[in-house]
Amino acid sequence: MALYNLKSVKRKKYQRALNKAVRELNKEIKNDWLWNGRFIMRQQCAFFAPFEDKSGAEFSVILEFKDTKTGRVETNMFDNYDAEWKIWEWTNYCIANVWNVWSEDPNPNKQARLEGRTPDDRK
């Protein structure tokens, strides 16, 4: 019974730290003036396995990062050695490199405006 309690305490410790990091990331993106809550991160599943010598445990989690505007989703696995910065790094990587959000034209009528036309002008 004591081993079970030890495992539960360590799992809860790792899970709380992860939940805090994900909540912080979601809060920062929600309050960001540029992204305005466009992206959201969620935990898909978690794995916990104590070491045989009972010196610690391995905690791994699969996180899903979703672009709510386009519906695109990326998943990645992190372990208890990945610090909070690793989650932020992966988030930035998804936005800038995988989805290439910066290359998207937020205004499809931009080219028409540059040419001096209105979107309603038909040629």
Question: Could you give the number of structural domains in the chain?
Answer: 1
Residue 77 domain flag:
yes
Average pLDDT, the chain: 78
Residue 122 domain flag:
no
Residue 119 domain flag:
no
Q: Write out the residue range of the structural domain in which residue 104 sits.
A: 2-114
Residue 37 domain flag:
yes
Residue 120 domain flag:
no
Distances in whole angstroms, Cα of residue 61 to Cα of each of 18, 47, 49, 51, 108 = 9, 6, 12, 17, 38
Residue 57 domain flag:
yes
Residue 20 domain flag:
yes
pLDDT tens for 11-45 read 888 888 888 889 999 999 999 888 888 999 999 99
Q: What is the pLDDT of residue 2?
A: 40
Residue 52 domain flag:
yes
Q: How far apart are the first and last CA of the chain?
A: 79
Q: What is the pLDDT of residue 26?
A: 94
